[in-house]
Structure formats: C-alpha cells, structure tokens
C-alpha cells in the first residue's frame, strides 16, 4: 500500500523513522500504523500460536497493532502519531509486503 497522491492533499512535515533498523519516510500527523502500511508492512506481531497480526480495528480497541517504540513495549500503532527519529520495532521482521 502506498500513500494517496492527489493535488490539494496536505500532509504534515516529512520525518524519518526507523523500523526494525531500516529508515522509512513518514509525515507528522499520521499514525505509526499509517506509516507502517505505507511502507509495506502488513503484519507487526505474532500471536502465541505464530499467526500474523497488524492493523485490525484501527481505533485502539483490539491491541492487534502493538509495537515497541523507543524501547517502550505494547504501544498501539493505530493511536500513536509518528515523530522524527522514532525507533519502531516489530515482532514480524520477515513479512514485508506480505
């Protein structure tokens, strides 16, 4: 999935975040979940049975989208805005563009 590109669409300032050690582009005002999806990340963690999980409800109810942010575990990606230099770690490194 990529970001919508259309005339008149206003974005926040571009920022760089680090996702599993890789630099990714994001924009102030978007959530971690939005930035991860735009960068091609679909699954961010695994259940105790090894099943992939990523964005599900998108409103902070289900906790399927949790990631580690700047060393703090269990941060809901759908509720947390990106910030310059943010370090995001997921449980699901191998499944980019799944």
Spell out the domains of the chain, with CATH numbers in brackets.
Answer: 15-89 (3.10.20.440)
pTM of the model: 0.85
CA dihedral 50, 51, 54, 55 (to 10 degrees): -140
Q: Cα separation of 77 and 32, whole Å? A: 5
Confidence of residue 3 (pLDDT cuts 50, 70, 90): low
- pLDDT, one tens digit per residue, over 41-64 is 999 888 889 888 889 999 989 888
Q: Cα separation of 30 and 73, whole Å? A: 20
């Amino acid at each position: 999935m990529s970001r919508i590109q259309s005339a008149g669409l206003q974005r926040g300032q571009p920022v760089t975040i680090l996702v599993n050690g890789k630099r990714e582009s994001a924009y102030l005002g978007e959530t971690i979940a939005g930035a991860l999806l735009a960068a091609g990340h679909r699954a961010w963690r695994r259940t105790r049975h090894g099943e992939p999980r990523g964005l599900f409800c998108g409103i902070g109810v289900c906790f399927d989208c949790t990631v580690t942010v700047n060393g703090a575990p269990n941060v809901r990606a759908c509720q947390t805005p990106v910030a310059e230099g943010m370090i995001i770690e997921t449980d699901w490194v191998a499944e980019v563009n799944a």
